[in-house]
């Protein structure tokens, strides 16, 4: 009776050994950089040269890429969200963990098995073993039965295991979200880089054309005695140097095209050549800047690291519970008869109930070391979480610094382009009026095309780093209804 009372009290208590997981507190910091970010400078009359302002505490839209106001860019992102195989693989991995969690929850309920056995046997006439009541030595035996087994979760072994499975599912869920956020950012960056490379290729070809025309003039002047062979050789060298810069650009352009095709789930031959000029993009001017205290809740990689901590914490409870006694309850009921028609008649039924108590006594230190390993794994997950948080803050700080310097670089590039354009216009005017040689016009045009390449690169950097800021702040996934609902539902289940 005392043993039954102790068992009943344990079942009623429903304790779960091991630590109860608590969410890590948000970092106690006020900002991402030593000084609050100031509005970036603007460059007048240059696409992408608008000044950008930061809105502390501002929120991010889930479809942040639409802020670039490009239908072509929107189409590429939507294509990637529907066809990218890496995203499909992440979603399938999430389905695996979801089913594993549901399978683990089955341990809360009794296991019921229905069986039916049929045999025909013959005993020797002199056998001492029991024979049927009709003393037949050759007979059939039919035995249908129902078996029930249940392991009361006295110390919370099953609960901790399910808790770990739920946390693992949550980790994969946020890994899937991170995959989607990274995918959209990569598509935006790839499209911008492709547009930038195409503009650089066009400017380089114009430079080659200008240098070719310059070389032709020098050849003519050399034949007439107005230019030396040294001048011709110098121009041939200049043309060769400019021409040599084109193949690497074409290679990068082709590779960027192929990468964009794969990101959108297509073969390189299926993606048409880009029709996204850099000048068609609109630079977002009002940039959200999430509060540092909310960044850890927005970044999917941080949430994934937190879920990994939770899973490791639950595994500590599993390891502790494995060192404690286990109780199992069993019951069987059925009928046995010599003929199918006699089953379940009076006198053919049987039943039994049983209870087993097993406690590990000596396992060679295995269970003790498994518990220590689980605790070490939790310490590892905790350190990885802190590292992930630090990296998240670094990403935001680096992006803010990049945006500031990008604006300055674009301003300088725009000024250089304007100056080169003035020089080109003056050279053309002087040549038309007869005050300057055509070589000076070509030289000015070459310098102008070089400033155009620098300007395109500076413009692309602003667009790319703006996209990087949205990614660094979490990508706005919490405004995607389906994703946010699934994440919040799982959070509620784990509490």
What is the pLDDT at residue 486?
Answer: 62
What is the pLDDT at residue 8?
Answer: 45
If 0-12 CB within 10 Å is exposed, 13-18 middle and 19+ buried, where does residue 101 land?
A: buried
In this model, does residue 123 exceed pLDDT 80? no
What is the pLDDT at residue 272?
Answer: 84
Q: How many residues does the chain have?
A: 495
Provide DSSP, 317-374.
Answer: HHHHHTTS-EEEEEEEEEE-BSSGGGTTSTT-EEEEEEEEEE-----TTHHHHHHHHH
**Stretch 291-317: mean pLDDT:** 95
d(CA 121, CA 110): 34
Q: How far is CA 346 from CA 7, 166, 251, 320, in A?
A: 35, 49, 88, 49
- The residues facing 26 across adjacent strands are none
3-state secondary structure at position 145:
strand
Pick among 2.20.200.10, 2.40.420.20, 3.40.630.10, 3.30.70.1070: CATH of 109-122+136-152+325-358: 2.20.200.10
Q: How far is CA 137 from CA 129, 140, 158, in A?
A: 10, 10, 49
Model confidence at 289, pLDDT cuts 50, 70, 90, reads very high
Neighbours of 417 (CB within 10 A): 22
Please give the share of the chain, as a percent, with pLDDT higher than 90.
54
If 0-12 CB within 10 Å is exposed, 13-18 middle and 19+ buried, where does residue 22 land?
A: exposed
Q: Given CA atoms 126, 129, 135, 138 in this order, what sign does their dihedral have?
A: negative
Contact partners, residue 145, CB within 8 Å, separation at least 6: 114, 115, 116, 332, 333, 334, 335, 350
Torsion of CA 246, 251, 254, 260, to 10 degrees: -120
Q: 55, 185, 72: which is closest to 476 by C-alpha?
A: 185
pLDDT (tens digit per residue) in 161-202: 999 999 999 999 999 999 999 999 999 999 999 999 999 999
d(CA 460, CA 201): 14
Q: Given CA atoms 382, 385, 391, 393 in this order, what sign does their dihedral have?
A: negative
Model confidence at 100, pLDDT cuts 50, 70, 90, reads very high
Residue 343 near residue 335, CB atoms below 8 Å: yes
Domain ranges of the chain: 16-108+153-324+359-494, 109-122+136-152+325-358
Among 134-148, 344-358, 369-383, 455-469, which stretch is predicted with the lowest mean pLDDT?
Answer: 134-148
If 0-12 CB within 10 Å is exposed, 13-18 middle and 19+ buried, where does residue 199 land?
A: buried
What is the pLDDT at residue 6?
Answer: 45
Model confidence at 9, pLDDT cuts 50, 70, 90, reads very low
Beta strands, E only, 3-73: 53-56
What is the pLDDT at residue 438?
Answer: 74
Query: Between vectors from CA 167 to CA 162 and to CA 170, what angle results, nearest 5°?
Result: 130
Model confidence at 5, pLDDT cuts 50, 70, 90, reads very low
DSSP 225: T
H or E element in which residue 115 lies: strand 111-122
**Stretch 288-296: mean pLDDT:** 93
In this model, does residue 136 exceed pLDDT 70? no
Model confidence at 3, pLDDT cuts 50, 70, 90, reads very low
Greater pLDDT, 431 or 310: 310
What is the pLDDT at residue 1?
Answer: 40
Model confidence at 4, pLDDT cuts 50, 70, 90, reads very low
What is the pLDDT at residue 2?
Answer: 38
d(CA 319, CA 322): 5
Calculate Rg over the CA atoms of the chain: 37
d(CA 249, CA 271): 19
Query: Tokens 């005017």 sit at which residue?
Result: 429
End-to-end CA distance of the chain: 36
Model confidence at 485, pLDDT cuts 50, 70, 90, reads low
Model confidence at 489, pLDDT cuts 50, 70, 90, reads low
- Please tell me the pTM assigned to this model: 0.88
Among 61-70, 137-146, 230-239, 379-388, which stretch is predicted with the lowest mean pLDDT?
Answer: 137-146
pLDDT (tens digit per residue) in 350-370: 889 988 888 888 888 999 999
Torsion of CA 178, 184, 187, 190, to 10 degrees: -70
| pLDDT, the chain, mean | 87
Residue 425 in tokens: 């216009």
Among 4-18, 60-74, 440-454, which stretch is predicted with the lowest mean pLDDT?
Answer: 4-18
d(CA 202, CA 245): 12
**Stretch 197-218: mean pLDDT:** 90
In this model, does residue 334 exceed pLDDT 90? no
Sort strands 326-335 and 349-358 into parallel, antiparallel or unpaired: antiparallel
3-state secondary structure at position 469:
helix
Please give the share of the chain, as a percent, with pLDDT higher than 70.
91
In this model, does residue 126 exceed pLDDT 90? no
In this model, does residue 283 exceed pLDDT 90? yes
Domains 16-108+153-324+359-494 and 109-122+136-152+325-358 equal at CATH topology level: no
Greater pLDDT, 142 or 86: 86
Homologous superfamily of 16-108+153-324+359-494 in CATH?
Outer membrane efflux proteins (OEP) (1.20.1600.10)
H or E element in which residue 405 lies: helix 366-433
What is the pLDDT at residue 129?
Answer: 58
What is the pLDDT at residue 402?
Answer: 94
Contact partners, residue 265, CB within 8 Å, separation at least 6: 79, 80, 82, 83, 84, 85
């Amino acid at each position: 009776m005392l043993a039954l009372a102790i068992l009943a009290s344990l079942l009623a208590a429903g304790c779960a050994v091991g630590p109860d997981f608590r969410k890590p507190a948000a970092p106690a910091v006020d900002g991402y950089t030593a000084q609050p970010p100031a509005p970036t400078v603007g460059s007048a009359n240059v696409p992408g040269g608008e000044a950008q302002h930061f809105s502390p505490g501002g929120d991010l839209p889930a479809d942040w890429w639409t802020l670039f106001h490009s239908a072509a860019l929107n189409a590429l992102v939507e294509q990637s969200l529907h066809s990218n195989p890496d995203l499909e693989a992440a979603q399938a991995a999430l389905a695996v963990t979801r089913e594993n969690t549901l399978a683990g929850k089955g341990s809360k309920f009794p296991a019921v098995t229905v069986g039916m056995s049929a045999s025909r046997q013959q005993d020797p006439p002199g056998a001492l073993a029991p024979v049927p009541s009709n003393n037949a030595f050759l007979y059939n035996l039919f035995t249908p039965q129902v078996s029930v087994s249940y392991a009361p979760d006295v110390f919370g072994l099953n609960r901790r295991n399910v808790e770990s499975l739920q946390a693992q599912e949550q980790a994969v869920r946020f890994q899937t979200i991170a995959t989607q956020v990274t995918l959209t950012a990569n598509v935006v960056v790839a499209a911008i880089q492709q547009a930038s490379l195409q503009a650089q290729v066009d400017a380089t070809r114009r430079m080659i054309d200008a240098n070719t025309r310059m070389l032709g003039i020098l050849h003519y002047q050399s034949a007439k005695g107005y230019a030396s062979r040294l001048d011709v050789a110098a121009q041939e060298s200049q043309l060769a140097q400019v021409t040599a810069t084109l193949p690497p650009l074409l290679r990068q352009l082709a590779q960027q095209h192929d990468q964009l095709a794969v990101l959108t789930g297509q073969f390189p031959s299926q993606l048409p050549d880009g029709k996204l000029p850099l000048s068609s993009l609109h630079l977002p001017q009002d940039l959200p800047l999430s509060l540092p205290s909310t960044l850890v809740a927005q970044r999917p990689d941080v949430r994934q690291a937190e879920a990994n901590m939770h899973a490791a914490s639950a595994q500590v409870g599993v390891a502790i519970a494995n060192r404690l006694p286990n109780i199992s309850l069993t019951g069987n009921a059925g009928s046995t008869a010599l003929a199918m028609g006699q089953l379940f008649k009076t006198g053919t039924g049987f039943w039994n109930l049983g209870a087993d108590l097993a406690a590990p006594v000596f396992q060679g230190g295995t269970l003790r070391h498994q518990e220590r390993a689980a605790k070490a794994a939790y310490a590892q997950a905790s350190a990885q979480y802190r590292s992930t948080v630090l990296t998240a803050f670094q990403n935001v700080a680096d992006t803010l610094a990049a945006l500031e310097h990008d604006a300055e670089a674009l301003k300088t590039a725009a000024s250089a382009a304007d100056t080169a354009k003035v020089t080109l216009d003056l050279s053309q005017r002087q040549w038309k009026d007869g005050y300057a040689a055509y070589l000076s016009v070509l030289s000015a045009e070459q310098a102008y095309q070089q400033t155009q390449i620098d300007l395109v690169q500076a413009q692309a950097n602003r667009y790319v780093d703006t996209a990087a800021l949205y990614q660094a702040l979490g990508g706005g996934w919490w405004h995607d209804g389906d994703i946010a609902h699934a994440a919040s539902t799982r959070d509620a289940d784990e509490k």
